[in-house]
Amino acid sequence: MNKIIAASAILFALASSAFAGDAGTTGKINAIDVASRTLSLTHGPIDALGWPGMTMDFVVSPSVDLSALKAGETIAFTVTQTPEGTYAVDSVTPEK
């Protein structure tokens, strides 16, 4: 019984670590709302999260400079899970 509990704890820790860091992809900025610090993005799949490509709004971390971004621009970006369980863009790099 103890071996089963220990194995379950290891599997849980491994599964949790898959979601502990950043996950990224590329996407096109559809709209920027500076006042609410959100981006509307049409993005490719985010394999680390099991998400297909889709269009969605993301809150943007304070470390990202929204003034450097433009609607219509293609970017590489990462998201991280917030304490509330949602995902926020925490890094952005313009695609060339």
pLDDT tens, position by position, 26-56: 999 999 999 999 999 999 999 999 999 999 9
Range of the domain at 42: 22-94
Evaluate whether residue 72 is within a structural domain. Answer: yes
What is the C-alpha separation between 70 and 42, in angstroms, rounded? 14
What confidence score (pLDDT) does residue 21 get?
59
Evaluate whether residue 11 is within a structural domain. Answer: no
pTM for the model: 0.76
Evaluate whether residue 76 is within a structural domain. Answer: yes
User: Which residues are registered as beta bridge partners of 31?
Assistant: 40
Tell which residue, 60, 67, 85, has the closest CA to residue 77: 60
In this structure, what token pair is assigned to residue 1?
């019984």
CATH number, residue 67: 2.40.50.320
Q: What's the structural domain count of the chain?
A: 1
What confidence score (pLDDT) does residue 96 get?
75
What is the C-alpha separation between 53 and 43, in angstroms, rounded? 5
